[in-house]
Structure 1
Amino acid sequence: MTFLFAINPVSGGKGKTDWTMGIKNYFANSTHVAELRYLDGKTDAQIVSQAIDELKPDRVVAVGGDGTLKIVAEQLVDTGIPLGILPAGSANGMARELGIPAAIQESLDVVVNGKLKAVDLIAINDNDICLHLSDIGLNAQVVRYYEKNNWRGMFGYFRSVLKTLRKRRQLRVEIDTGEECIQRIAFMIVLANARMYGTGAVINPDGDLSDGRFEVVIFRRMHLWGIIKLFWRYRPFDPKYIEIIPATSVTIETHRRAYFQIDGEYRGRITRLDARIRPGAVTMLVPPDVSM
């Protein structure tokens, strides 16, 4: 088989020499072929698309974080070509969600020997997709500061959180799922295809990447310590502070422009978004022991 590796050389704030050498060493004596392409941060989609057209790979692998994974996944929607992950980013939420090992050798074993899993996507405003988690409000503001200041790693996230805490504001939102329309005051609204953030914080305990729906998670009340725990907590949040609404489509409107991010990539400030589920749109490679 031919494996195409799309490598983000700056994700995680570190060079990818170890990952590159790990890939080359792994395939050195293999009957399979590894083709490496490096993203440049400007024409990433074009680089991946051209490599797929040129090489006709059997499998494509994103080497980076959730943002890199999203870029690659966009080129594979509805193609049936399996998508693998080497978790080389600062926050590897989707890799954590799928049980992908952090070590190079073990994650490469999944790329080569893993089983296939059909994963849903959330289509947003008909021109974007979300594999993992998108949100309006507090966390999107954290992502904005993180990107704007070019901070990297978990320490960079922590600095962004502290800056956000000083400027946090609640939102007045209207949420229409087609079955009900509700109004809420909230710090943050999450569109959750998955269960947890890359930090391990579980915000959607019953989330399932392949159940044909997503969840709208409403953070209604949050005290200071609760906001900090949002980013470093490994068990579900207190239901007194959140509300979870299952949906297959949703329209969300805010009374003022609010920060918005998709899979760890800041998308600007919005007052409205439309989202709908796309069941089984991408095929992922997961460890053999991961339950389907």
Structure 2
Amino acid sequence: MTFLFAINPVSGGNNKTVWEEGIKNYFADSSHTVHQFFLDGKTDEETIRQQIDQHKPDRVAAVGGDGTIKIVAAALLDTGIPLGVLPAGSANGMARELGIPPDVEGSLALLVNGVPKPTDTLSINDGDVCLHLSDIGLNAQLVKHYEQNNLRGKLGYLQGVVKVLQKRRLLRVSITVGDECVQRAAFMIVLANARMYGTGAVINPNGTPFDGQFEVVIFRRLSFWEILKLFWRYQPFDPKKIEIFPATSVSIETHRKAYFQVDGEYRGRITTLKASIRPGALQMLVPAV
């Protein structure tokens, strides 16, 4: 087979030499063909498509975190080319969801021996792609603070939590799922195509990216310690403080501009959010059962 590796050299702030060398060593005595290229954060979409057209790979691997996976996945939607993951980022939530080993050799073995599985994606506001989790409100504000202040690690998250909590405000929202419209006051609304954030915090216990639907998770109350659960592996959230609505599409209106993020990337402030499921739009490589 021909493998194409899209490497994000800055993902997670980690040096990718270990992964590059691991790829070379793993395939050194192999009959497979391997090509590597680097993402630059500027012309990635064009570069990925050029590389695919040039090498016509059987499988493409994203070497990085959740953001890297999303960039590569967007180019592979509806192509039928399977996407593999080498979890080299600071947040590897999608890799956890898919059961991908965290080490170089284990994830490469899965890339070669894994089976393609049709995986759902979300279409957000008629253009953006979400593989994992998007949200408006408090966590998106934290993502913005984290990005703006170039924070790193769990200590950086803790600093962000303290800062954001000082400014937390309830959102008044109108949420339409199917024929049902509900009015709520909430700190955060999550569109969840999976179970957990990249840190391992479970936010949607019964979620899966393979069932043709997603969940709208409404956080009506949030304490300091519960927000920390977004970034530390504690128990699932108190079901008395959240509501979960299964959906194939949703429309959300907010009474004021709300912070918004998609797969860990801050997108700005919005008053309208529309999303719909795209069942099986992406082939992801998962462990053979």
Q: TM tier, shorter chain?
A: over 0.9
CA contact (8 A) 2:199 2:230 kept: no
Give the whole-Å Cα distance in 2 for the aligned partners of 1:254 and 1:20: 45
Counterparts of 1:203-222 in structure 2, within 5 Å, are 203-222=203-222
Give the whole-Å Cα distance in 2 for the aligned partners of 1:234 and 1:286: 26
Deviations 1:161-212 (A, max 9, x none): 2222222211111001122000100010000000000111111111121111
Amino acid at match of 2:161: V
Corresponding position of 2:110 = 110
Matched, 1:99 2:107: no
Give the whole-Å Cα distance in 1 for the aligned partners of 2:214 and 2:92: 20
Corresponding position of 1:83 = 83
What is the aligned residue count? Answer: 289
Q: Specify the SS of the correspondent of 1:283.
A: strand
* Structure 1 residue ranges without an equivalent (≥5): none
Deviations 1:54-94 (A, max 9, x none): 11111110001111000000000011000000001111010
Q: Specify the SS of the correspondent of 1:22.
A: helix
Bigger shift: residues 58-67 or 232-241: 232-241
Matched, 1:282 2:285: no
CA contact (8 A) 2:195 2:207 kept: yes
Matched, 1:155 2:192: no
Amino acid at match of 1:52: I
CA contact (8 A) 2:173 2:255 kept: yes
TM-score where L is the length of structure 1? 0.96
Give the whole-Å Cα distance in 1 for the aligned partners of 2:217 and 2:13: 30
CA contact (8 A) 1:260 1:266 kept: yes
Q: 1:234, CA displacement in angstroms?
A: 3.9
Identical-pair percentage: 70
Amino acid at match of 1:184: R
TM-score where L is the length of structure 2? 0.97
Bigger shift: residues 165-174 or 131-140: 165-174
Counterparts of 1:227-238 in structure 2, within 5 Å, are 227-238=227-238
CA RMSD of aligned residues (A): 1.1
Q: Specify the SS of the correspondent of 2:106.
A: helix
Q: 1:221, CA displacement in angstroms?
A: 0.6
Give the whole-Å Cα distance in 2 for the aligned partners of 1:278 and 1:62: 21
Q: 1:273, CA displacement in angstroms?
A: 1.1
Corresponding position of 2:128 = 128
Q: 1:153, CA displacement in angstroms?
A: 3.2
CA contact (8 A) 2:154 2:231 kept: no
* Structure 2 residue ranges without an equivalent (≥5): none
